[in-house]
Amino acid sequence: MSSLIQTLEAEMTKDFVTALNAGDTVEVHYLIREGEKERVQLFVGTVLAIQGAGIRTAIVVRRIVQGEGVERIFPLHSPRVRDVVVTRRGKVRRAKLYFLRDRVGKKTRVTELLGDKARAAKVADATARKAHAEAQAAAKANSEEA
Amino acid sequence: MTLILGRKRGMTQVFTTEGNVIGVTIVEVGPCVVTDVRTEARNGYDAIQLGFEDVREKLLSKPVRGHFKTAGVTAKRFLREERLAAPAAFAVGDEIAVDAFAEGDLVDVIGTTKGRGFAGGIKRHGFSRGNETHGCHNVRQIGAIGACAYPGRVFKGKRMPGHFGNKRHTTKNLKVVRVDVERNLLLIAGAVPGPAGGFVQVQAAKTGIKKG
């Protein structure tokens, strides 16, 4: 029974979603509508938490704008979230970084994850993106043939 | 009015093209078979009886088995009638499938709510709770139930603890978000009475449809 829901959700989820962890610094490409026009806005910040699973997965992103903390929640599978790019991997020891909310100034920074793990993550991300791009190109070519 | 029978399968969410999230209930409906046609002349009213989901004959009583035999259809687990204003346009054996509904239709969904057993006033009627501290001991009690010498009794219908749930309930005017003809699924915005796997009746909304 639940497998029916799982199949339905699998059909509706995106084919490719960036692998993320709490503490990562990300750029979220978010589609916004201004009257008739649509444009992609970037929201750059730290991932405080990853909530939910499957099609309900959402990330909490926090940044400081003019000395004021701003948090936004992005559902990863929303059609308006065009892309999420990891610019920096964070070295953290917990899944929810809500303690960062209480910090001010230099203390809000998360240590960068360096070394083999970070390099491996970078490579994995690049290969996943490439595979996704190739799959999309193949699908496009297929639909053009048909 | 259109009626179709089915089973609730659970809930999930879908995104609209604008990126808004809608919580939806997945209902597996039909194909339903007309098992009987009630007529004004024979029964005093016009209606059709629908059957959903095959069942082993062994599980049914002899009279019910006989009913399916006269109709000439395979035995069904869930039978419900749809009342009609005019003589039925259906014959026994006709099928009604999901395509009776379209995206954007408003529907009423009838089901049996989850049984909660003997429940207190807070869960059953939404009463508020008493203080837990400051020396209070009336935490989940219902409070006063009436006055004193006048009227000297408790009024009928006074809301009190008792059996809650496991009762027929209609949720009105829910929107059909998607119709999946291949898998016989209806995605209906919002919640539907009953547990996942429970039988439900989905019918065209009786109120809520704008005229003109």
A32-87, pLDDT tens digit by residue? 887 788 888 899 999 999 999 888 899 999 998 888 889 999 999 998 898 899 88
Provide the CATH number for the domain around residue A12. Answer: 2.30.30.790
Residues 164-203 of B with CB under 8 A from A: 185, 196-197
The answer, for B28 touching chain A at a CB cutoff of 8 Å, is yes
For residue A65, being part of any structural domain is answered with yes
Q: What is the pLDDT of residues B119-175, one digit of tens each?
A: 999 999 999 999 999 999 999 999 999 998 999 999 999 999 999 999 999 999 999
- The helix/strand/coil state of A29 is strand
d(CA B192, CA B171): 7
8 Å CB contact of B19 and A78: yes
Radius of gyration of chain B (CA): 22
CA separation for the pair B168, B175 (Å, rounded): 20
Mean pLDDT estimate for chain B: 91
Residue ranges with strand state E in B3-102: 3-15, 21-29, 32-38, 47-54, 76-83, 95-96
What is the predicted pLDDT for the residue at B9?
93
A43, A78, A80, A86, A105 from A29: Cα distances, Å = 7, 11, 8, 11, 26
Domain range holding A107?
A: 2-112
pTM attached to this predicted model: 0.81
Alpha helices in chain B (DSSP H): 40-43, 62-71, 121-125
B198 vs B108: CA distance, rounded Å: 16
- Is residue A43 domain-resident? yes
Share of chain A above pLDDT 70, in %: 98
Domain count, chain A: 1
Topology of domain B3-116+168-204 in CATH is Elongation Factor Tu (Ef-tu); domain 3 (2.40.30)
Residue A82 belongs to a domain: yes
Among A8, A9, A13, A31, pick the best mutation site for testing chain B contact (most B Cβ within 10 A): A8
A102-116, B79-93, B163-177: range with highest mean pLDDT: B163-177
Q: Best residue in B12, B22, B27, B188 to probe A by mutation, most A CBs within 10 Å? A: B12
Which pair of tokens denotes residue A132? 């996704």
Average pLDDT over residues A108-127: 81
Residue A123 dihedral angles phi and psi, to the nearest 5°: -65, -45
Q: What is the tens place of the pLDDT at every residue in B105-117?
A: 899 999 999 999 9
Q: Smallest Cβ distance to B10: which of A1, A31, A55?
A: A1
B86 pLDDT more than 60: yes
The answer to whether residue A1 scores a pLDDT higher than 60 is no
**What is the tens place of the pLDDT at every residue in A5-42?**
888 888 888 888 888 889 899 999 998 887 788 888 89
Cα(A112)–Cα(A94) distance, rounded to whole angstroms? 15
Angle at B124 between CA B123 and CA B126, to 5 degrees: 65
Task: With CA atoms as reference, report the closest residue to A25 among A71, A68, A61.
Answer: A61
Three-class DSSP labels, A40-95: EEEEEEEEEEEECCHHHCEEEEEEEECCEEEEEEEECCCCCEEEEEEEECECCCCC
Name the strands in the sheet holding A58-65, side by side, starting at the edge strand that comes first in the sequence: A68-75, A58-65, A37-51, A25-34, A81-88
Give the model's confidence band at A4: pLDDT under 50 very low, under 70 low, under 90 confident, else very high.
Answer: confident
Pairing of strands A68-75, B32-38: unpaired
* Sheet bearing B95-96, strands edge to edge: B76-83, B47-54, B32-38, B95-96
> Which one is predicted more confidently, B70 or B18?
B70
The CB density around residue B65, as the number of other CB atoms within 10 Å, is: 13
- Note whether residue A134 is domain-resident: no
Identify whether A127 is part of a domain: no
Least confident span in A77-86, A113-122, B14-23: A113-122
